[in-house]
Amino acid sequence: MPKDRQFRRELKEHMYKANHHVWAKYYYDVMHFNCKDDLAKITAPALLMYGSRSDSFNTYIKTYKKELADVEIFVIKGESHQLPTRQPSYVNQIITGYLLSRK
């Protein structure tokens, strides 16, 4: 059996061990949760970093700017997701600069 099929079989067996009621509730809650309703409640300063290729996140940038009282947003060109592992030096530079500007 090819490795990919073996992995899928093992994953399927593992999933059958899980409590399906818990997973059903999780998926229901995720599909019916809207964090935009609570954004205005956030009063702490926020630093957000996204890759320019992260379309799913970039669609919310205007909302974050509108709803968050104190937000700074950095978009890293050419990146998608997992910024700390893909651009660790640049991410550290952004965080350090952000913190130093808050003194």
pLDDT tens digits, 33-87: 888 888 999 999 999 999 988 877 778 888 999 999 999 999 999 998 889 999 9
Give the CA diameter of the chain. Answer: 59
CA 1 from chain centre, in angstroms, equals: 35
Pairwise CA distance, residues 66 & 61, whole Å:
9
Strands (DSSP E) contained in the chain are 46-51, 71-76
pLDDT in tens, 1-45: 456 888 888 888 888 888 889 888 988 998 888 888 889 999 999
- DSSP states of 33-48 as a string? --GGGGGGG--S-EEE
Q: How many Cα atoms are found within 13 Å in the side-chain-facing hemisphere of 49?
A: 19
Q: Taking the domains of the chain in order of start, what are their residue ranges?
A: 1-33, 39-103
Whole-model pTM: value is 0.66
Tokens found for residue 25: 């509730």
Specify the 3-state DSSP secondary structure of 49. Answer: strand
Query: What pLDDT is recorded for position 3?
Result: 67
**Cβ-proximal residues to 60 (8 Å cutoff; 6+ apart), any chain:** 36
